[in-house]
Amino acid sequence: MPGGGFCRLPGGNMVVALSLPHPAGDGDVRILVHAANRPRALTRLRNLGLRAHLRGNTHPPTPDEITAVLHHPDGLLWRTAPGRDQDLWRPIRALLR
Residue 1 CA to residue 69 CA, distance in Å, equals 22
At 1 the pLDDT is 47
In order, the DSSP letters of 34-58 are: EESSHHHHHHHHHHTT------SSS
- pLDDT above 90 for 13: yes
Which amino acid does the sequence have at 84?
A: R
CB–CB of 68/13 below 8 Å?
no
State pLDDT tens for residues 25-38: 778 889 999 999 99
At 2 the pLDDT is 61
- pLDDT above 70 for 3: yes
Residue 21 CA to residue 26 CA, distance in Å, equals 8
